[in-house]
Amino acid sequence: MQFPNKLYSYKNSTLALLPEVLIRLQNEPVAVKDLFWELNPILEDPTDFLSALDCLYAMQMIEMTEDMEAIFLC
């Protein structure tokens, strides 16, 4: 997980991806693979996507279903 610091600007940090993920999950559950492909153009590294999902899950803002869909909880 990349936090903004001297090496990484906010735009290039994991924190900048969090609102992007939440915006796409506001209306309906989205399959994780579909979410990845939607965000792929703005990702510098695929691990950034996983870090963003981990962070949102740890903050209890999203949940994963058995069908591998992400659900926005707030």
Give the CATH number, domain containing residue 52.
1.10.10
| pLDDT for 51 | 93
Condensed to tens digits (0 to 9), the pLDDT of residues 17-74 reads 999 999 999 989 999 999 999 999 999 888 999 999 999 999 999 999 998 889 888 6
Residue-number span of the structural domain to which 57 is assigned? 10-72
Q: Is residue 15 part of a domain?
A: yes
d(CA 26, CA 7): 31
| pLDDT for 8 | 82
Q: Is residue 3 part of a domain?
A: no
Domain total for the chain? 1
